[in-house]
Amino acid sequence: MKMFELASGQSCWKGINYHHEKRIISWKSLEKNCYQGLVKGSNGAVYHVMIDPAHPRKSTCDCPFADGRRVICKHMIALYLGIFPEKEQEFIDYVEHQNELYEQEFNQRQIEKENEIRRYVNTLSKAELKERLIQYMLSERWC
């Protein structure tokens, strides 16, 4: 999961697409659970990729995005999935779980906001409430 956690969402999804499009030309295992491979890019260029799943920041790719930088690119993700295809479902499950957590948090904030508004409105007198409503209806937010 570390590879996905360190990559941008765009690199993850594009890497998954590259894996599905079978852009991994070849790969081999190196010592210490590292892997080296060739991945075909979107422009037809072939990139040399080395991944270290245990230490993803040590992974390299000679594509313009990752060359000389300590980032995880779509070619690294594609190679990773070519070697460990079961990791794709783990990533999708993780994203779905994060989306569920976000939705729950959003809903909870909405409930809290509604309760705060109700508490505030209940503190107003009838005359104050009428005046606030008139002011709101005359504001640009009403239109």
The predicted pLDDT at position 1 comes to 60
The predicted pLDDT at position 94 comes to 85
CA angle, 96 then 18 then 26, to 5°: 130
pLDDT tens series, the chain, 143 aa: 688 989 999 999 999 999 999 999 999 999 888 999 999 998 889 999 999 999 999 999 999 999 989 999 999 999 999 999 999 998 899 889 989 999 999 999 999 999 999 999 999 999 999 999 999 899 877 76
Amino acid at 103: E
The predicted pLDDT at position 19 comes to 96
What residues does each domain of the chain span? 2-85, 91-138
> pTM of the entire structure?
0.72
Output the CA–CA distances (angstroms, integers) from residue 120 to 54, 74, 125, 126, 131, in the order listed: 53, 50, 11, 13, 15
Cα separation, 17 vs 13, in Å, equals 6
